[in-house]
Structure formats: structure tokens, C-alpha cells
Structure 1
């Protein structure tokens, strides 16, 4: 990891200065907000890898800021700072969406280690989530969350059946399937309609191939069926 962006939200200049100085040695970029309102405004126009959020602030306490951030649907890691060490405050903070809780005074090195661990964990989680929600094959990308197909970054509009068929091809590249197998696996029916298969294959070729008359991806295997080819 390098050049991670951390937003420090604290109304004490000395605390912000201490954190900024220790993070600079680790090549962590720091940005400062002196109050909750300023932090929320910065979050609307900037992206950060983690937020260090003080609880006790004059304009808006950190717990209220935390609620608003989570209410906006932001899943950025948030580490709370507080002069209170009571279990109640920690449980409350963690319960409304904080990822960690550190009491003042704190060790800058320990704070830095926790910040790096949370950023690394969040990156790993996002990468894992992305890999499970997207099928990538050649120039094609299929978003399993939105059920949308993209080719070279451009969305291809498909009908429901075309989407199901293309998803099946992308999940099974370079394998030959008979018309019967496609109909059973995609349509879930044992009554085969050869004409329907041919129509949907033709539609998919028109939408996905550079030259539908000479298909590169959805190829006919004469006498057997079709194969979705990815080199």
C-alpha cells in the first residue's frame, strides 16, 4: 500500500498535527477537517480510504457524523477517537457503524498500524466482492449484481432471454453445447425449440460480434451446436 488517503476529523489542532506527522513517515496522505460539517462537505466531493473521527466536537459530535456518513451509503472504514474509555461509548460507536475505537491519549504507531490494517482489509474485501460479482471473459464483462453486459466498457442492451444465454456462455467459455443442452440449461425446459435457439443466437451475434456474418465469439459447431470462444 502507498499514498492512502485518510481524512482526520478533529477540532484539536494538536491532535491533527500529531497524526499527520506520524502518517507522513508511512507515506499516508492526510486531509484535515476541523468539524463535522466540514468533514461531510469534503466527503461529498472527495474520496478517502479511511476516516479518523473524533467523538467530542463542538458543532456536531462524531457519532452524529458517523450516522450521517452511513446514512449516505458510504462504506469507508471509520476509526473513532475519544477521551472516554467506557464500554458503553465503544459499544455505541461500533454499533452504529464504526470499524474501530481508540481512546486518547494514544500511541501514534499503534494508530498507524490499525489504520493500515483496516485499509488493507477493506481493499481485500472490495476486490473479493468485485471478483464474485463480475464475470470477465475477453472484451466482455457481465455484472451479476445488475445483470448487465459490457463489451470494451460499453453496455450492450439485451433482452431477458439474451441475458440468460450470454451469462451461460460467459460462465462456460470454449465448451461445445448442443441446442438441446442450451435449451435445458438456459430455458430450463426439455421441450426443444430449435428455431428459438437460432433466433437468440442470431440476435446475440448482431449485438456482440464485430462482424455478425463471420462470428468470432459465438461460433457454430456444425452437426453439434454452439461454442462461445475466448482465446
Structure 2
């Protein structure tokens, strides 16, 4: 776990120090922010491997910070650590883009295990995926520098729009998106065109699915939209 940089965003100093102590023992470099402004300043200044994020803070909520991170397309694993235990709060956290949600009071050993798991999942087990520009899920790999997409290490040629869709899917695996959400995030247009979405989903299935008529990876969630399942 050497050279791994973690940012703790938490307004309670005692909790920050506890988490710092836990993760520093694992050889991680741990940075601390006591509010949202400090957190955003650090995110703009440094490259982190993971963020541990409180929700209730004075200047802005952890939800706001997470939304900012996702809007900037920073593929940082986010772990919410919060006293908000209601189901709707947890669901909201995952909807915004959290990779994990741990409620207070928390087990230090479980938090540490979650941090290790999220970083391993993000980077992948092979030395190749220590490169943060590589996203890997299942048999697929996307290079954020070259915008090339691979299945089982074989490059799949994609059009510009197909590349943008698969990039979005690779950045948000196992998450259901409506056609409107896909259109807004890929086409960057408020009004949606269902036909365009359907056509490009069909194109992608023909290229990446083993059996396009029985999709295993780009699944239709009836009445809602699509899920990139890996």
C-alpha cells in the first residue's frame, strides 16, 4: 500500500486523528481536511487514491463535495463515513456516486479493510493497473489517455460516440441509468433522444457482447434504462 494517498474530510478532529493513525500504520499517506473548502482545495492540488467523506459539516455537506468530484469526472473512490443512518441517506449517498457507506460509530478494522478493498478494486491486481489512467472491469479495459477500449486485451474499435458511452459505463459500472441520464451525460444535452440512445446501445452490444441478442454486459432494465453489468 506504499505511495497511496488518502484524504479524510471530517470536522471532528478526534475522528480524523483516529483514521490517520489506522491508515498510516498501513503505509498510506494521509491528508486531512476539516471542512468542504479545505477538501476541494486539496483535491485540486493533489492526486488522491481515495476519499473518506463525512456528510454533515458546517460549510457544505459531503453530498455536495461528492457531487463536485463526480461532475469533474474525477474517478476517486469515495467512502461516506457518517452518523446519518437512515436508509434514504444511505441510498442518496450511493446515488451521488459513493463506492461505500459506513455509519458511525464505526469499526476501525472494517474501515481499513474497506479502504484496501476499494483501492484494489479501482487499480486492479496487476501492475499495469497501478496506472490511474486505466479503468478495468471484468474482461474490459479503458485507457483514459488514449481513449482505447479493450476486451480480453484485444482492442475494440469504436466510434466517437460509442467511445463516450463506454467510457461513461466503465466509470459507473453496475449502476442503472435512465435514457435521459445517459443522453445528458454523454451528449451533454438536457433534452433526450431515445432513438439515438437505443441505436448506439445496439451498436455497442454488437461489438462487445458474446451474444448481442442476449446481452450479458449492457443490460436493459425495463421501464428504467440500462446497466453496464460487470
Question: TM-score, length-normalised on structure 1?
Answer: 0.56
Tell me, in whole angstroms, the C-alpha distance in 1 between the residues paired with 2:146 and 2:83. Answer: 45
Partner of 2:148: 145
Q: Secondary structure at the match of 1:31?
A: strand
The answer to whether residue 39 in structure 2 is matched with residue 39 in structure 1 is yes
Q: Secondary structure at the match of 2:148?
A: coil
Q: Secondary structure at the match of 1:26?
A: coil
Query: What runs of 5+ residues in structure 2 fail to find an aligned partner?
Result: 150-230
2:80–2:93: 8 Å Cα contact kept in structure 1? yes
2:81–2:101: 8 Å Cα contact kept in structure 1? yes
Question: TM-score, length-normalised on structure 2?
Answer: 0.56
Task: Give the drift of 1:22.
Answer: 1.1
Q: Secondary structure at the match of 1:73?
A: coil
After superposition, the C-alpha distances for 1:72-96 in whole angstroms (9 at most, x for unaligned) are 1111000001102111101000001
Task: Give the drift of 1:132.
Answer: 4.1
Q: Secondary structure at the match of 1:63?
A: helix
2:36–2:65: 8 Å Cα contact kept in structure 1? yes
Q: Secondary structure at the match of 1:80?
A: strand
Q: CA RMSD in A?
A: 2.3
Query: What runs of 5+ residues in structure 1 fail to find an aligned partner?
Result: 135-141, 147-231
Tell me, in whole angstroms, the C-alpha distance in 2 between the residues paired with 1:51 and 1:57. Answer: 15
Tell me, in whole angstroms, the C-alpha distance in 2 between the residues paired with 1:133 and 1:69. Answer: 20
The answer to whether residue 93 in structure 2 is matched with residue 93 in structure 1 is yes
Q: Secondary structure at the match of 2:124?
A: helix
Report how many residues are paired: 139
Tell me, in whole angstroms, the C-alpha distance in 1 between the residues paired with 2:147 and 2:101. Answer: 35
After superposition, the Cα gap between the structure-2 partners of 1:133 and 1:107, relative to the gap in structure 1 and judged at 3 Å, is closer
2:122–2:135: 8 Å Cα contact kept in structure 1? no
Q: Secondary structure at the match of 1:95?
A: helix
